[in-house]
């Protein structure tokens, strides 16, 4: 493969999470009754005019800035003209000459690989972002028997198209970029990133050529509706093109579709001549100039991005790579983690210890419960066990006030009760008994109940049978804890039992 070089550029369309559509006040929502979220404007009725949704501009600009693009001080829209039944005006309002943002970049782990490898210390590759531009989506056409139906609910919803330069070489790199972009827009709260539902759509351009010869003949691939298909489709296509060239053939410039059932790309249409979209400035919308208020609203929308956060969380809290990956999967989850650690510190715990304990809870018990209840990591805010409450549980264990076993009961209780963990512990009497007199009483009760075990333990100790002595002592510890109603602090009970056994052994 080193004989050849491959060039991949990606065009990713994301649906912005604006409440209303890009140019009218209709609800932008998916899954509703067909043609229920429509009005004369998004249906292209005679006489209507588009009115730009400022929130779409803001969200688009937030993404552009997060991808290190330069925001255009003045942008406008063009009409992109072509006839298609799902496009009400038969032109799309889009941006051509003045994209919202240009000349950005993102770093991905070199060679692709999963997001786990994006933690500190990994080599990175810079992908240039050509532009981000705002446009409106079309409706959906459904062919059913001998009729064609159109649902215009999606028509006019806000789309941001993010175009990269042809900087990827492998399917793995492209897959990694798409996953990272998906997490980025979710972190920014501007797109749900759902590829199956089409909220994030990816088209790819790919060409191969002899190394050093520049771009080859470009093929466009559509229908890459999961990040895995991005990798599989591109790797398949690179292999296909290389094989063609190896045989002395030419790659035909065309659009191909990824067939997920056959794991291959297939010709969709051959481009004999490029479409003439006859772009011209949209006369119904005045140019948009970014004023200071707009810029500050964009800056306010920027958050620490997944890649940076993983690096920081890894080094600041000393988590393992696997823990970092899970904790930073969603912004809300990472926020939860940091809030919990901060609260545990406030309760007197060491930061690193607190981080370790909180991470264990989050990657274990918390994840398990959320999976069970069908909650994603982003939904962590919906739990009654807030970060602060998880910190309280962790601190209760650390201070020896409850046992690990009680902690799990406490967690389960905190999941359903709107109450502070300390209050739950108090109300249920779950706090461990540490009073030496009560511990001693429990131990005496156990010894009285199991005299043969006690004498056996003393004899084993005196006789140097460490194994037997330990087994019998542990039995007595269990009995003593049982005698305390399960509340005696195990460490103290163990010490008390051992002291009594040693004393008895000495007396033998």
Under the rule (CB under 8 A), what is the footprint of other proteins?
25, 39-41, 43-52, 79, 81, 83-85, 88-91, 141, 148, 150, 152, 276-280, 283-286
Residue closer to other proteins (CB basis): 150 or 449: 150
Report, in Å, the least distance between residue 92 CB and other proteins. 11
Residue closer to other proteins (CB basis): 283 or 464: 283
User: CA-CA-CA-CA torsion for 181, 184, 190, 192, nearest 10 degrees?
Assistant: 70
The two three-digit tokens of residue 72, written as one number: 């255009």
Whether the Cβ atoms of residue 288 and residue 244 lie closer than 8 Å to each other: no
- In angstroms, the CA 174 to CA 100 distance is 23
- Give, in order, the Cα–Cα distances in Å from 327 to each of 121, 353, 364, 377: 18, 16, 11, 9
Closest CA to 59 of 159, 129, 156: 159
Q: How many residues does the chain have?
A: 508
- In angstroms, the CA 82 to CA 88 distance is 11
Residue closer to other proteins (CB basis): 86 or 304: 86
Report, in Å, the least distance between residue 284 CB and other proteins. 5
φ and ψ of 117, to 5 deg:
-80, 5
Residue closer to other proteins (CB basis): 47 or 212: 47
Where helices occur in 399-420 by DSSP H, the ranges are: 404-416
- In angstroms, the CA 38 to CA 155 distance is 8
Residue position matching structure tokens 């994006």? 118
Report, in Å, the least distance between residue 22 CB and other proteins. 13
- In angstroms, the CA 3 to CA 420 distance is 64
Report, in Å, the least distance between residue 336 CB and other proteins. 40
- In angstroms, the CA 284 to CA 308 distance is 41
Residue closer to other proteins (CB basis): 4 or 277: 277
Residue closer to other proteins (CB basis): 92 or 325: 92
Region of 231 please: left (phi>0), alpha (psi -120 to 50) or beta. alpha
Residue closer to other proteins (CB basis): 150 or 504: 150
Collapsing DSSP to helix, strand or coil, 453 comes out as helix
Residue closer to other proteins (CB basis): 44 or 113: 44
Helix orientation angle between 331-346 and 387-398, rounded to the nearest 10 degrees: 40
Report, in Å, the least distance between residue 270 CB and other proteins. 18
State the number of CA atoms in the 13 A half-sphere of 439 facing the CB.
Answer: 19
Report, in Å, the least distance between residue 152 CB and other proteins. 8
Report, in Å, the least distance between residue 51 CB and other proteins. 5
Report, in Å, the least distance between residue 98 CB and other proteins. 15
Residue position matching structure tokens 């209840």? 373
Report, in Å, the least distance between residue 278 CB and other proteins. 4
Residue closer to other proteins (CB basis): 41 or 219: 41
């Amino acid at each position: 493969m080193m004989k050849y070089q491959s060039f991949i550029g990606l065009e990713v369309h994301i649906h912005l999470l604006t409440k209303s559509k890009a140019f009218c006040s209709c609800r932008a929502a998916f899954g509703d009754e067909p043609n229920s979220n429509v009005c004369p404007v998004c249906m292209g009725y005679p006489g209507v005019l588009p009115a730009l949704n400022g929130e779409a501009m803001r969200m688009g600009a937030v993404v552009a800035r997060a991808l290190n693009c330069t925001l255009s001080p003045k942008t406008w829209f063009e009409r992109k003209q072509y006839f298609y039944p799902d496009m009400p005006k038969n032109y799309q309002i889009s941006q051509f000459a003045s994209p919202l943002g240009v000349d950005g970049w993102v770093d991905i782990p070199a060679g692709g690989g999963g997001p786990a490898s994006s933690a500190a210390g990994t080599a990175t590759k810079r992908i240039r972002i050509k532009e981000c531009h705002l446009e409106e989506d079309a409706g959906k056409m459904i062919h059913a028997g001998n009729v064609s139906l159109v649902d215009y609910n999606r028509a006019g919803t806000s789309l941001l198209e993010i175009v990269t330069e042809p900087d990827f070489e492998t399917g793995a790199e492209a897959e990694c970029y798409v996953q990272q972009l998906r997490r980025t827009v979710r972190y920014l709260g501007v797109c749900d990133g759902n590829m199956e539902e089409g909220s994030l759509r990816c088209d790819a351009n790919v060409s191969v050529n002899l190394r050093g010869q520049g771009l080859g003949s470009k093929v466009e691939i559509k229908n890459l509706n999961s990040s895995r298909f991005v990798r599989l489709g591109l790797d398949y296509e690179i292999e296909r093109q290389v094989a063609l060239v190896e045989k002395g053939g030419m790659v035909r410039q065309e659009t191909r579709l990824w067939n997920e059932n056959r794991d291959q790309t297939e010709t969709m249409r051959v481009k004999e001549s490029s479409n003439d979209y006859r772009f011209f400035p949209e006369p119904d919308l005045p140019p948009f100039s970014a004023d200071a208020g707009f810029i500050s609203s964009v800056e306010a929308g920027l958050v620490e991005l997944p890649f940076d956060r993983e690096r920081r969380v890894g080094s600041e809290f000393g988590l393992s790579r696997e823990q970092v990956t899970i904790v930073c999967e969603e912004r809300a989850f990472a926020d939860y983690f940091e809030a919990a650690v901060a609260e545990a510190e406030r309760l007197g715990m060491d930061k690193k210890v607190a981080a370790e304990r909180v991470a264990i809870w989050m990657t274990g018990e918390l994840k398990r419960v959320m999976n069970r209840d069908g909650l994603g990591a982003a939904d962590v805010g919906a739990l009654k066990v807030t970060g602060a409450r998880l910190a309280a549980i962790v601190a209760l264990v650390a201070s020896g006030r409850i046992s690990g076993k009680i902690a799990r009961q406490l967690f389960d209780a905190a999941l359903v009760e709107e109450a502070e963990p300390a209050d739950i512990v108090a109300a249920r009497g779950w706090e461990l008994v540490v009073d030496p007199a009560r511990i001693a009483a429990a131990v005496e009760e156990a010894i009285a109940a199991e005299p043969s075990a006690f004498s056996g333990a003393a004899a084993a100790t005196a006789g140097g049978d460490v194994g037997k002595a330990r087994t019998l002592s542990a039995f007595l510890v269990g009995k003593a804890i049982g005698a305390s109603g399960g509340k005696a602090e195990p460490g103290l009970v163990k010490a008390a039992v051992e002291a009594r056994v040693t004393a008895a052994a000495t007396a033998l």
